[in-house]
């Protein structure tokens, strides 16, 4: 093969692009289908838990497991050795295995019984993987003395993406106007090191003939590969799996663009880059066995459909054991719910109503608070508290969403200066405060810029290294510190205490409509307690790139502070309350809304804006503070054995120890986050009040008698249920396939692009998902990969109406991505294959 063989096909393909509409359509469909399989991955500062298989939920779980095993040796289920260990430790019992086999009722599989499934765990589970061209070409001389081509290509593409997408880390920014593919093409032609790494000293000669456009690359390579069109999308998906991290980042940019009505082509161009590498390596000078490799590739992929079928059949064993692993937990949960419904009633006249995020870390605190004072009613509600907002801190352009990633912000929140009555008239003008903060930021930027110039490294350390001595000392001997509030950086403390988030440019009618919708969703149309506490949650850690992932698994990685403060202000406003009367919602004059935040690392409560409350509320709030303190101490003692701390410590000592951990820059596991999550219960609190759900259940209050038409249930099944599913599957995937869907070892992390993500080490693909330290305590796994069990207390017909109306919900249920139970009069019905099955429950 000579250079003309490379140039001539390009010209031919260029002509075919213009003239063959059918070919164009088939290539377009294949590329779109491959890209659609990639789920988005949010950046570090806006972490959202995502099901990395979200683009594949239209297929049964077992089918997805088989496809990913064949396309990239990716594990979707736990390994057979994991199941064997669970069996030997009796986390799976004989009863669990029989239940799983009975529930699946696998047709046409004589002999597929208890003994067969158990024996299969000790056998090697081999699945044939379909090769990529780069793997078949990579067996030339000198292979032992160079990087494998797949690894080298992934590294080169990854470094290119890191430079292209970075906007905050490097002071010298590249030109991006022509797009990712053009940037890569230009970069590669000036990168002489990649040829050495790949053992291809003449690589630069062929790079001159790279396809000029992504479209040309797609057509040229698919034409050269000679694969049947039926497998194009599968082959392209396999290519994207080799750079899944950056593909997921591009999918995120596409997700955000779609929400904003824009179009971006990053993911498609990334696919073209990965395809173009195949074209480069097809040159005969670099790959003497091109003909043999192409022939083997075509032969392997010609039987792809049979390979997929055989793989899917082999995963029936994993399907059974996954269900058996879940059966024990589900049996215990069912028993708890059925027994509890018999004895627990409603609170007649609550003195306090405390609304918490549905996050699993709220469940122990709700349970403890109710045990401290029986007149406290707790409420579970989505953590963004129904506010579709984006927040921009004062005098900055750092706008950020404060709601689940499934939704786009509709309202804006900014900061205003509001003094309490005794300070009225003493605050400076807002514009002067804004100017002072901007000046502070400019000084900090100039200081930090001195560390980033190429020649500044050694001189900076010599001149100013002493400035880091205090920080280093804090790491050696961490002291308890309060949770940092970055939104207030650069503001004097005498001013920051009066800096409060508030809705921007929203008229009273809109506020009333929003307030009514939120209160109805919370079930607070009447019977308001004198104090209604809105409890958001946030985390606290140091030197932790993934800190935002511990704040909230849904709300763009933000704490709930802004949301609860904005809602408190709105619901305490007299004009809003008067407007609510027209919505048949009457808030008594003596009812006050209070905002607070649960620090889930230290189990402390932080109160906001108390200085704005009237004097008559202070005695009530003082008593409530004591109740919360007692409840939080109970939660700490329940939680600390999981982090290797004795619960027998004195209350003060225990709190200080947790505060020191939260302030320790060397702490790998500041808290366990949402590890262990396994259920989502949509029901009145009376069904779960008094139950110890072990911090494994999301809890959303729902009273069907207040939702006759099922509109609220539809909202809950299409928003919070999807969010909890995403969280559940992020943990599941990070646990079962850490190579693709976990971010690896925190100790080796290097931040990419300021906030984009992390490398594990200095290169390779962008790592997404949870770090190993979020799932493993150094001795064993802390998270068990169970699919989410959703329990809904509502009539079957209302649930079925939502399922039939929303394809996403139907796919999740019919394809086995989560479990659905219906709770009714101490009985539980399981939804399976579009049918309801009565679940046998031992209530003795």
C-alpha–C-alpha distance, residues 545 and 47, integer Å = 10
| Residue 778's pLDDT band (cuts 50, 70, 90) | very high
Quick one: pLDDT at residue 565? 97
624 - beta bridge partners? none
Average pLDDT over residues 149-178: 87
Residue 493 — very low, low, confident or very high, per pLDDT cuts 50/70/90? confident
pLDDT of residue 71 exceeding 80: yes
Indicate if the pLDDT at residue 431 is higher than 90.
no
pLDDT at position 447: 56
> The whole model's pTM is what?
0.94
Mean pLDDT, all residues of the chain: 89
Report DSSP state, residue 189: H
Closest Cα partner for 735 from 785, 668, 676?
785
Residue 1 has pLDDT above 50, yes or no: no
Taking the C-alpha atoms of residue 256 and residue 200, their distance in angstroms, rounded to an integer, is 39
Residue 453 has pLDDT above 70, yes or no: no
Ranking 19-33, 81-95, 428-442, 619-633 by mean pLDDT, the lowest is 428-442
Phi, psi of 20 (to 5 degrees): -115, 90
Nearest in space to 217 (alpha carbons), one of 243, 249, 254, 179: 179
DSSP annotation string for 575-617:
HHHHHHHTTT----TT-EEEEEEEETTTTEEEEE-GGGS-GGG
| Per-residue pLDDT at 379 exceeds 70 | yes
CA separation for the pair 246, 270 (Å, rounded): 8
Start-end of H helices in 110-213: 114-120, 133-137, 149-165, 180-189, 193-197, 203-207
| pLDDT at position 448 over 80 | no
Summarize the confidence of residues 200-217 as an average pLDDT. Answer: 82
- Residue 542 CA to residue 665 CA, distance in Å, equals 5
- What is the C-alpha separation between 343 and 699, in angstroms, rounded? 19
Token duo for residue 334: 């069912």
Residue environment code for 113-127, b if the CB has 16+ CB neighbours within 10 A, otherwise e: eeeebbebbeeeeeb
Higher pLDDT residue, 95 or 442? Answer: 95
Using DSSP's 3-state secondary structure scheme, residue 30 falls into helix
The lowest-confidence range among 216-225, 398-407, 435-444 is: 435-444
pLDDT tens digits along 278-304: 878 876 555 567 888 899 999 999 999
pLDDT digits (tens, 9 = 90+) for 250-289: 999 999 999 999 999 999 999 999 999 887 887 655 556 7
Lowest mean pLDDT among 199-203, 650-654, 828-832: 199-203
Contact 720, 381 (CB under 8 A): no
pLDDT at site 2: 43
Q: What confidence score (pLDDT) does residue 463 get?
A: 56
Residue labelled with tokens 């392997």 = 300
Kindly give the interhelix angle for 711-718 and 796-805, rounded to the nearest 10 degrees: 50
Query: Which tens digits make up the pLDDT trace of 295-344?
Result: 999 999 999 999 999 999 999 999 999 999 999 999 999 999 998 855 55
Name which of 33-37, 287-291, 577-581, 754-758 the model is least confident about.
287-291
At residue 481, the pLDDT reads 83
Number of Cβ atoms within 10 Å of the Cβ of 21: 9
Residue 180: other Cβ atoms inside 10 A? 24
781-805 mean pLDDT = 97
Residue 531: is its pLDDT beyond 70? yes
Judge whether residue 202 has pLDDT over 70.
Answer: yes
Q: What pLDDT is attached to residue 420?
A: 82
Statement: residue 170 has pLDDT above 70: yes
Taking only the tens place, the pLDDT of each residue in 92-148 is 999 999 999 999 876 555 678 999 999 999 988 889 999 999 888 887 666 777 788
Ranges 36-50, 107-121, 307-321, 580-594: which has the least confidence: 107-121
The pLDDT, as a whole number, for residue 490 is 82
491 forms beta bridges with none
Q: What is the 3-state secondary structure (H, E, C) of 278-290?
A: HHHHCCCCCCCCH
């Amino acid at each position: 093969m000579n250079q003309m063989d490379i140039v001539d096909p390009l010209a031919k393909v260029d002509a075919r692009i213009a003239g063959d509409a059918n070919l164009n359509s088939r290539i377009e469909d294949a590329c779109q289908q491959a890209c659609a399989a990639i789920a988005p991955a949010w950046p570090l500062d806006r972490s959202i838990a995502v099901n990395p298989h979200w683009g594949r939920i239209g297929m049964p779980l077992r089918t997805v497991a088989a496809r990913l095993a064949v396309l990239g040796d990716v594990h979707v289920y736990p390994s057979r050795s994991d199941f064997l260990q669970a069996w030997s430790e009796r986390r799976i019992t004989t009863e669990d295995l029989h239940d799983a086999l009975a529930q699946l009722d696998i047709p046409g599989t004589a002999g597929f019984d208890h003994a067969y499934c158990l024996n299969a765990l000790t056998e090697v589970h081999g699945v044939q993987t379909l090769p990529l061209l780069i793997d078949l070409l990579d067996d030339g001389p000198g292979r032992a003395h160079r990087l494998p081509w797949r690894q080298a290509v992934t590294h080169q593409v990854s470094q290119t993406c890191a430079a292209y997408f970075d906007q905050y880390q490097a002071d010298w920014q590249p030109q991006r106007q022509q797009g990712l593919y053009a940037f890569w093409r230009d970069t590669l032609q000036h990168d002489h090191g990649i040829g050495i790494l790949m053992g291809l000293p003449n690589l630069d000669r062929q790079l001159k003939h790279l396809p000029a456009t992504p479209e040309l690359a797609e057509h040229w390579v698919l034409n050269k590969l000679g694969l049947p069109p039926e497998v194009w999308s599968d082959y392209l998906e396999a290519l994207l799996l080799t750079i899944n991290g950056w593909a997921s980042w591009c999918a995120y940019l596409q997700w955000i663009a779609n929400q904003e009505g824009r179009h971006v082509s990053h993911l498609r161009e990334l696919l073209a880059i990965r395809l173009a590498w195949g074209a480069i390596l097809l040159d005969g000078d670099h790959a003497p066995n091109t003909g043999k490799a192409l022939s083997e590739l075509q032969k392997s992929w010609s039987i792809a459909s049979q390979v997929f079928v055989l793989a899917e059949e082999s995963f029936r064993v994993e399907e059974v054991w996954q269900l058996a692993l879940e059966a024990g937990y589900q049996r215990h949960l069912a028993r708890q719910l059925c027994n509890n419904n018999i004895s627990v009633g409603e609170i007649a006249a609550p003195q306090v109503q405390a609304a918490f995020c549905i996050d699993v870390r709220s469940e122990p605190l709700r349970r403890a608070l109710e045990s401290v004072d029986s007149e406290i009613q707790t409420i579970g509600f989505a953590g963004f508290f129904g506010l579709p907002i984006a927040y921009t801190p004062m005098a900055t352009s750092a706008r950020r969403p404060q709601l689940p990633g499934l939704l786009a912000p509709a309202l804006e929140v900014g900061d205003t200066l509001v003094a309490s009555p005794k300070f009225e008239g003493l605050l400076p003008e807002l514009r002067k405060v804004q100017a002072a903060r901007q000046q502070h930021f400019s000084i900090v930027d100039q200081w930090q810029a001195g560390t980033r110039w190429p020649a500044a490294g050694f001189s900076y350390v010599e001149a100013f290294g002493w400035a880091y001595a205090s920080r280093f000392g804090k790491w050696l001997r961490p002291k308890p510190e309060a949770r940092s509030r970055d939104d207030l950086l650069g503001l004097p403390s005498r001013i920051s205490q009066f800096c409060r988030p508030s809705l921007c440019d929203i008229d009273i009618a809109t506020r009333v409509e929003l307030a009514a919708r939120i209160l109805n969703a919370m079930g607070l149309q009447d019977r308001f307690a004198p104090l209604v506490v809105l409890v958001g949650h946030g985390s606290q850690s140091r030197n932790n790139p993934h800190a935002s992932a511990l704040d909230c698994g849904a709300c763009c990685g933000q704490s709930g502070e802004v949301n609860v403060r904005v809602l408190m202000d709105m619901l305490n406003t007299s004009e809003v309350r008067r407007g609510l009367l027209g919505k048949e919602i009457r808030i008594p004059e003596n009812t006050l809304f209070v905002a607070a935040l649960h620090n889930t690392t230290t189990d402390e409560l932080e109160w906001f804006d108390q200085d704005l409350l009237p004097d008559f509320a202070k005695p009530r709030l003082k008593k409530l503070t004591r109740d919360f303190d007692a409840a939080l101490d109970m939660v700490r003692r329940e939680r600390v054995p999981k982090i290797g701390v004795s619960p027998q410590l004195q209350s003060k000592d225990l709190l200080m120890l947790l505060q020191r951990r939260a302030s320790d820059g060397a702490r790998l596991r500041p808290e366990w986050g949402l590890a262990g999550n396994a259920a989502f219960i949509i029901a009145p609190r009376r069904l779960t009040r008094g139950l110890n759900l072990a911090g494994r259940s999301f809890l959303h209050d729902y009273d069907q008698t207040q939702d006759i038409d099922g509109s609220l249930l539809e909202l809950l099944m299409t928003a919070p249920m999807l969010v909890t599913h995403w969280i559940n599957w992020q943990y599941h995937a990070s646990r079962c396939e850490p190579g693709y869907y976990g971010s690896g070892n925190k100790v080796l992390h290097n931040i990419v692009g300021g906030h984009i993500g992390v490398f594990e080490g200095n290169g390779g693909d962008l790592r997404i998902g949870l770090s190993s330290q979020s799932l493993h305590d150094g001795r064993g796994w802390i998270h068990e990969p169970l699919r989410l069990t959703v329990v809904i207390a509502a009539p079957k017909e209302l649930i079925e109406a939502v399922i039939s109306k929303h394809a996403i919900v139907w796919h999740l249920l019919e394809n086995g991505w989560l479990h659905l139970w219906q709770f009714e009069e101490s009985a539980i019905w399981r939804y399976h294959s579009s049918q309801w099955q009565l679940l046998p429950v031992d209530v003795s």
